[in-house]
Amino acid sequence: MKDLKKAIDLITVEKLEKVLSFLKWRELDVLMNGRVRQFVSPDDEYVALIPLVKEFSDYYRVLGETLQSIASFENRAIEALVNRILNPSYDIQKWRIANSYTSDGKIPFFSMTDTIEKIKDVLATTYLDTLNPTRFHKKVYTMDVNKNISEYSFGQTEIGSYILNILCPLGDYQYTIFNPTEQDIPLNRKINMRLLSSINNIQKDLGNSDTNKVDEDVDKGLYSVNFLDSLVDIYDETKDTEMNIIVDWCKDVRFVKEAPVSSIKLEPIFMEKVNFIADKYRPKKEENVQKTYYGKIESITANPEVENREYVQIKIVTIGDDNKKLNIQSRLNYNAFYSIVKTAFDNGSNIKLSGIQKDIGKQKWIDNGVLELLDR
């Protein structure tokens, strides 16, 4: 692990002893005139030494070996163990991404930024579904949502394909001294439980060909259209990737009932079914509205046979009302606009797109649009 020495400097004896106590390691002996404590794992397979002073020349090596012993006992990466020790009052979401790029623990920059945006959408809609279950939320990124997400932070990433750790603070709770009620459970714990249970139940029902069950649950407000949309987006992001969501639950915060599901694998094969159900309950928007957008052309498509090209189809990227990236697609008359399209695309120029908007599901379309080049 990189920066292990820095991590060891942050790990106190008290934190280590608390971890060992929770894992039911027992103390074997006190060594070096009371300056080193020796522990053994419940299965007697692993030994841990905890120096009580830093004056030993091999202090960092010994504590490094102790951390590795605990990590091996728990069958987890040492990075994950360090995250847990340093963040005891957090649930830790682990988004594991596995594809041809991540085998050596790396991920392309723009791919990662897109993935983080989609993860943020999933968390935002889960927050809303937790506090205000309904079929559709008119606005996702409310002040409360932004405030809650701003309290999250990224932990040390892990090798193992590519594992993104999101630290979800639970507050300074003392749950070990009493049995909590539903009202006592921290909000972020409720959000994490709902996130995993919602995806797990949706995939299980669709896997059993029980589309009606998911349909009924949306009708009851158990899942919002917004949550389904965010799930479709993350499915689309992972259709050529394996993605798992694992939550490392904070051990200090007890569950009211039995422990919930802790790990799920996203199944993009359900993307079309989820999108179909979301479209069914999506509020109908006013049709045939004149719209104007400003942005840049992201992609161009046209009939491969030049003589048959009546239209050129473009996708532009702009900024929506929620200050997030928004894609608009449009079909333009080929003879009238191809020259402008090519110039704007080749030069990355700003454009103005106007026309009648007709939305198809989540996708915004401008039919028979008019394109204007702004950078000349």
Q: What is the DSSP string of 20-34?
A: HHHTT-EEEEEETTT
Sign of the Cα pseudo-torsion (42, 43, 44, 48, in order)? negative
What is residue 168's predicted lDDT score, i.e. its pLDDT? Answer: 94
**Amino acid occupying residue 260:** P
Please state, rounded to an integer, the average pLDDT across all residues of the chain: 87
For the chain, what percent of residues have pLDDT higher than 90?
Answer: 54
Does 40 or 170 have the greater pLDDT score? 40
* Angular region, 25: left φ>0, alpha ψ -120 to 50, beta rest: beta
Alpha-carbon gap, residue 197 to 253, rounded angstroms:
18
Instruction: Give CA–CA dist 263/205, Å, rounded.
Output: 17
Q: Which CATH number fits domain 289-373: 1.10.940.10, 2.40.50.140, 3.10.20.30, 3.20.20.70?
A: 2.40.50.140
pLDDT in tens, 319-344: 876 667 888 999 899 999 999 999 99
pTM: 0.68
pLDDT, position 1: 62
Given a cut of 80, is residue 272 above it in pLDDT?
A: yes
Could you say which DSSP state residue 86 is in? Answer: H
Residue 176 has pLDDT above 50, yes or no: no
pLDDT of residue 177: 41
Measured CA to CA, the distance from residue 18 to residue 69 in angstroms comes to 16
Q: Give, in degrees to the nearest 5, the angle at Cα 88 between 83 and 94.
A: 45
Question: CA nearest 114: which of 325, 305, 350, 308?
Answer: 325
Top mean pLDDT of 143-157, 195-209, 229-243, 258-272 is at: 195-209
Tell me the pLDDT band of 135, cut-offs 50, 70 and 90. very high
- Whether residue 87 has pLDDT greater than 80: no
Which whole number is the average pLDDT over 33-37?
Answer: 92
Reported as a pLDDT band with limits 50, 70 and 90, residue 179 is: low
Output the pLDDT for position 354: 92
pLDDT at 260: 85
